[in-house]
């Protein structure tokens, strides 16, 4: 087992109270697995990714454990996490592309990152160049500024530099968003290739774009308002989802060939609850067509068939 997350709770401290962005999630990611995370904006995807790397000052670890390759990660201890960060768990943050320092050449940026982790640039340079070529980039990108690269090229650079030390787990937060379809495909394929080459053992790919997950992920985890709704093999999530939220979410995605005139797809009415004072019980209750009395109690996230977990009282 590469990663085992157990009842993890990470909240944000705010003046108005705690935002319960990640409120008791339990799941595992196997060796070699690419797990996708999907869910509406604000459901806690980025929070989950960050929790496994570094809690910023407003985040607090309220409970739960994370075990990576048999080692428990000291989430709340920033100094102790240093040892794991980048070498064992690496994160490509959401908006990484736009956060690149525009005055630094790509090579310089990588050099700085490596030295912050006590790695000599010259030592890894041959491997760095090899991997750049593998993702279809010329090694002269190292001498260029971020602004000279397209979005897709930047994301591939970020992928290469985030995985140079062969981490056990890579978390990619919206790495294919904001790219057009051709660049999206190149980046998505590079992710799979890096797993196949063993540059990273397992991956968590966060995106709200489920069709991209269908292309790259082995399994998909669907989150809703700080809770888990469903996890299953990617194909199952698309073709046989069980949770009412997943069903509605998949039903809202037009496939190429679906036409408004022929068959109108439906969105999901309403909005997720506020995470400041989320209601007790199932957080999808207000929008769920199957909601019933029992749903006032939070449904457990349980395995209903092999590799298929669902949190819903209406699913047997």
Ligand X SMILES: Nc1ncnc2c1ncn2[C@@H]1O[C@H](COP(=O)(O)OP(=O)(O)OP(=O)(O)O)[C@@H](O)[C@H]1O
Please name which of 221, 183, 223 lies closest in space to residue 202, comparing C-alpha atoms. Answer: 221
Residues 46-75 that bind another protein (CB under 8 A): none
Q: CB of 81 within 8 A of CB of 74?
A: yes
Contact mark string toward ligand X, 83..102, x via CB under 6 A:
-----------x--------
Closest Cα to residue 75, out of 16, 172, 3, 20? 3
Binding-site member from 81, 288, 301, 308 for ligand SF4 (CB under 6 A): 288
Among 2, 38, 44, 188, binds ligand X (CB under 6 A): 44
* Closest CB to ligand SF4 among residues 54, 285: 285
Cα distance between residue 75 and residue 65, in whole Å: 8
When asked if residue 182 is in the footprint of ligand X (CB under 6 A), the reply is no
Interaction partner, residue 47 (ligand X, Mg ion, ligand SF4, none; CB < 5-8 Å by kind): ligand X
Rule CB under 8 A: is residue 15 a binding residue for another protein? no
- Report if residue 314 touches ligand SF4, rule: CB under 6 A: yes
Contacts of 21 (CB under 8 A, 6+ apart): 10, 11, 12, 44, 47, 226, 275
What φ, ψ does residue 233 adopt, rounded to 5°? -55, 145
What is the DSSP code string of 79-118? HHHTTTBTTTEEEE-TTTTTTS-TTS-HHHHHHHHHHHTT
Residues 6+ away with beta carbon under 8 Å from 87: 117, 165, 167
| Span of 110-118, 211-219, 231-239, 308-316 interacting with ligand SF4 by CB under 6 A | 308-316
Stretch that binds ligand X, among 45-53, 60-68, 119-127, 261-269 (CB under 6 A): 45-53
Q: Which of 282, 301, 308, 309 binds ligand SF4 (CB under 6 A)?
A: 282
* Cross-strand bridge partners of residue 59: 12
Note whether 46 binds Mg ion by CB under 5 A.
yes
Q: Give the Cα separation of 116 and 93 in Å (integer).
A: 18
Q: How many residues bind ligand X (CB under 6 A)?
A: 16
Q: Which secondary structure element, helix H or strand E, spans residue 8, and what is its range?
A: strand 3-14
Nearer CB in complex with ligand X: 64/110: 64
| Closer CB to ligand X, 60 or 302, in the complex | 60
- Closer CB to ligand SF4, residue 73 or residue 248? 248
Measured distance CA(181)–CA(160) in Å, rounded: 20
In the complex, minimum distance from the CB of residue 301 to ligand X, in angstroms, rounded to a whole number: 18
3-class SS of residue 194: helix
Task: Provide CB contacts within 8 A for 71, sequence distance 6+.
Answer: 84
Residue 7 backbone zone (phi > 0: left; psi -120 to 50: alpha; other: beta): left
- Rounded to a whole number of angstroms, the minimum distance from the CB of residue 282 to ligand SF4 is 3
Interface pick for another protein out of 103, 139, 211, 274 (rule CB under 8 A): 211
Binding residues among 229-258 for ligand SF4 as defined by CB under 6 A = 244
Question: Binder to another protein among 212, 221, 225, 275 (CB under 8 A)?
Answer: 212
| Interface size with ligand SF4, residues (CB under 6 A) | 12
Q: Which residues bind ligand X (CB under 6 A)?
A: 12, 14, 19, 21, 39, 41-47, 58, 94, 208, 275
Binding site for Mg ion (CB under 5 A): 45-46, 94
């Amino acid at each position: 087992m590469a990663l085992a997350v157990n009842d993890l709770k990470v909240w944000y401290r705010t003046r108005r109270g705690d935002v319960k962005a990640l409120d008791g999630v339990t799941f595992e990611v196997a060796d070699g697995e690419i797990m996708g995370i999907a869910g509406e904006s604000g459901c806690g995807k980025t929070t989950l990714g960050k929790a496994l790397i570094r809690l910023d000052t407003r985040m607090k670890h309220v409970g739960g454990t994370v075990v990576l390759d048999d080692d428990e990660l000291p989430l709340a201890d920033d100094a102790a996490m240093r040892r794991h960060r980048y070498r064992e768990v690496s994160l490509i943050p959401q908006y990484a592309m736009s956060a690149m320092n525009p005055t630094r050449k790509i090579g310089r940026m990588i050099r700085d990152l490596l030295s912050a982790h006590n790695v000599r640039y010259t030592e890894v340079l041959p491997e760095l160049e090899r991997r750049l070529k593998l993702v279809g980039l010329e090694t002269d990108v190292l001498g260029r500024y971020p602004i000279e690269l397209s979005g897709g090229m930047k994301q591939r650079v970020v992928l290469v530099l985030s995985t140079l030390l062969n981490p056990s787990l890579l978390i990619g937060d919206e790495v294919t968003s904001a790219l057009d379809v051709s660049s999206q495909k190149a980046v998505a394929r590079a992710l799979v290739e890096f797993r196949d080459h063993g540059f990273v053992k397992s991956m968590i790919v966060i995106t709200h774009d489920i069709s991209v997950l269908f292309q790259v992920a082995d399994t998909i985890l669907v989150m809703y308002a700080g809770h888990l709704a469903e996890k299953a093999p990617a194909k199952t999530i698309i073709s046989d989802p069980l949770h009412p939220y997943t069903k509605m979410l998949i039903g809202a995605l037009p496939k190429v060939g679906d036409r408004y005139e022929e068959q109108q797809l439906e969105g999901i009415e309403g909005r997720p609850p506020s995470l400041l004072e989320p209601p007790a019980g199932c957080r999808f209750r207000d929008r769920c067509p199957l909601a019933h009395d029992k749903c006032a109690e939070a449904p457990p996230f349980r395995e209903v068939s092999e590799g298929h977990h669902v949190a819903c009282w209406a699913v047997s």
